[in-house]
Structure 1
Amino acid sequence: MTQTGHRIVKEITKTLTLDYLLHIPDTEDQPADQKWPVILFLHGSGERGSDLNKVKANGLPNIVDQDKSFPFIVISPQCPEDEFWAMEKEALHAIVEHVLENYPADPKRVYLTGLSMGGYGAWHLPIDYPHVFAATAPVCGGIDPSRAEALRDVPIWAFHGAKDDVVPLSESQGIVDALEAIEANVKLTVYPEGNHNAWDETYSNPDLYKWFLSHSL
């Protein structure tokens, strides 16, 4: 029997499940029409699992746990055990959309950051959702330099420790060099004595948050 071409068109409904922490700034003098900027924070591999308290170990979830007035809405999802952020990209996008629809969030000021495994996620996610994030700040992560063109229009500030023995500096340097070659809006901060923990110094730097706020869609 001769083979013939066919096409099926079928709508498939997919259920997405991902737990997350949500910080809403606690301020007494908040105007009724206040719209807060948003940061999506992606943790590292050590915080994967089903215990949300683990997410508070490092980075922004730890900061906002101590500073209830931190002036951003912060979304901190938890990646399931043995998975990576690329496997959860649809769920991450769904969480951002949900927060934008249900909380006093500014859709033009949604920012992305992550450390280690989350740093890789912070490089990759803007490629999949190019019109969601106004800027991204990957910490000790990386991406194949061949993806530079897809990131050309995303403001990026990357951070890395020069002596990182877990994720080598070359992971950030390679993509930053490729982006600079096409005159993209990118910069890299290298901590000369820094090892893998580049996040404590990064997230305690007020200039990072000023830089975020200098960008909007």
Structure 2
Amino acid sequence: MSRISRRAALSLAAGAVATPVAGTVTVAATQEERSGRNRVVRADLITAVMPSDNWRVIAVAIRYAHRIDLRGGQIPSSAFQVAATINRETASRTVTRAYTNTAAEVSDRGRPGEYLIIELDPRDANARAAGADPLPLDRAYAIRQVTDLPELPASPFAIRNDGMINPVVDDFCAGSFTDSTGFEIDFRLYEPTGPGRYPLVITLHGGGEVADNNMTQLTGNRIAVTFAKPDRQRRHPAFVLAPQVPLPRPMEGPDGTDWTDARVQAATVGLIDTFIAKYPVDTDRIYLVGLSSGGRGILNLLPKHPGKFAAAIPTAGWGDPSTIDKITHIPLWADHSIDDQVVPYKEGRFGKPGTWTLMNALEAAGAKVTRGEWANNLPEAEFEARSRALLREARAKGSHVLFTSYSPGTTPVNPHLAWAQTYENDVVIDWLFAQSRR
């Protein structure tokens, strides 16, 4: 039994209005035009899921009643002060750019329009939009204009944000699936547009996103959203299915649940099978991708269902080498940081072998493994060039298993976050979509 509910693209409260600049509440449009005032209609935060460092507020979009045209003039970042109140603590955000635009979105180049975009530094300590759960950010941001602009005079009053705009995240619908035993698992789904059959990408999140919020499997790491972003969908249109491991129920013990839990695994497979039966999926092109605990889930699921999936990308995972001989035929591109201390590269958590040991076992079982090592903080072009060279080497020797190791001290933020560039890498993703069971 399944249940799918479509979310609105923008979660905007009916009738919500931004806190107005003083003196504009009762002024009619014609009076505004005569007086030169431009009323604030609303303000929204713009968020982005970062490659390896959670969900962050990257900008504020203020909508005005009338178009703003600065006639080529620049807006200094010092013209605005932005403060965020998170968990009752207020701190400034760093303004990096300000410009007008025709839509509530960040842009490389601004243009005259009804929107004023104030970009914020995502590295700010208080930039996060979520902790273990999404943070309550409605009206959490105060924006003050402290410098007069040609069409916008400064004001002593702050504008408060009404809501949030979550590009790509808002394109996923929310749903849940209940299997024959009554076990329920939440999921998010992105559907491509247009007729035809499409590949299916199933994303398995990490242990930090185990929750009952049906959100952090999208926002904790950029794994699901990177497959749904517009440029990726133009290149590789596909269904993207992002299930979420639920929190353990009372009396289930201290270990909780993960992708290897029998109930979670059965429900996940049931969800996939039900989805395939109901949607136009190209069943020869079903892919598993996952990180950390999700990587472990991949390496546990594949031996049990060796004929279901066309390829997989397990990142920073671990598993059981005694079952690895069952998946020598499945194309894999695995990656792991050598200095990972959360899921060690060689000997994984709870004594289970890490990716390096599993690749050795796969090779011993008869698979040809093509290995490469480079820094995980290389510029994107160089990173992809290394990946392209590794792929050429694999093809030259007839290998369908690739393994990338990241040199110690080169993985940004934390050595465990090996996926910093994995799902941004067009070479790896092009390779994935080229795989088919036929």
TM-score (norm 2): 0.44
Which of the numbers 356, 364, 379 marks the counterpart of 1:173?
356
Question: 1:19 aligns to what?
Answer: 186
Higher helix share: 1
Aligned to 2:416: 196
**Structure 1 letter corresponding to 2:323:** R
**Matching residue within 288, 292, 296 for 1:120:** 296
C-alpha contact 2:300 2:320 (8 A) present in aligned 1:
no
Shift in Å at residue 144 of structure 1? 2.1
Deviation of the 1:203 alpha carbon: 0.5
RMSD, aligned α-carbons? 1.7
TM-fit CA distance, 1:65? 6.1
- In structure 2, the residue matched to 1:5 is none
The equivalent position to 2:210 in structure 1, one of 22, 38, 48, is 48
Cα pair 1:48 1:79 within 8 Å, conserved: yes
SS of the residue 1:18 aligns to? strand
CA distance in 1, matches of 2:225, 2:232: 13
Matched residue, 1:73: 239
Give CA deviations for 1:143-182 in whole Å, capped at 9, x if unaligned. Answer: 1222221222221111111221211111000010111123
Aligned partner of 1:39 among 176, 201, 204: 201
- Give the Cα–Cα distance (whole angstroms) in 2 for the partners of residues 182 and 36 of structure 1: 33
Partner of 2:140: none
Q: Deviations over 1:65-124 (max 9, x none)?
A: 654862221110000122111121111111111221222211110000110000100111
From the superposition, tell whether residues 180 and 69 of structure 1 become closer, same or farther in structure 2 (CA, over 3 Å): closer
8 Å Cα contact 1:116/1:141 also seen in 2: yes
> What's the TM-score once normalised by structure 1's chain length?
0.86
Change in Cα spacing, 1:204 to 1:69, as seen in structure 2 (3 Å) is closer
Classify the secondary structure of the residue corresponding to 1:131: coil
Deviates more, 1:115-124 or 1:90-99: 90-99
Distance 1:68 1:24 in 2: 15
User: How far did 1:183 drift?
Assistant: 2.7
Q: What residue number does 1:61 align with?
A: 224
> Conserved in 2, the CA contact under 8 Å of 1:23 and 1:64?
no
**Equivalence map 1:137-216=2 (5 Å):** 137-170=313-346, 171-184=354-367, 185-192=400-407, 193-194=410-411, 195-216=415-436
- 1:83 aligns with 257
- Whole-angstrom distance in 1 between the partners of 2:192 and 2:331: 25
Assess if the C-alpha contact under 8 Å between 1:25 and 1:69 holds in 2: no
Aligned residue pair count: 200
CA contact (8 A) 1:180 1:186 kept: no
Contact 2:184/2:267 (CA < 8 Å) preserved in 1? yes
> What secondary structure does 1:119 align onto?
helix
Q: CA deviation at 1:59?
A: 2.9
| Higher RCO (CA 8 Å, separation ≥ 6 residues) | 1
Larger relative strand fraction: 2
**Separation in structure 1 between the aligned mates of residue 338 and residue 186 of structure 2, nearest angstrom:** 33
Amino acid at match of 1:36: Y
1:94 aligns with 2:257: no
- Is contact 2:313–2:334 with CA below 8 Å preserved after alignment? yes
**Percent of counterpart pairs with the same letter?**
31
Rg bigger for which structure?
2
Unaligned runs of 5+ in 1: 1-12
Q: Is the 1:176–1:187 Cα contact (8 Å) retained in structure 2?
A: no
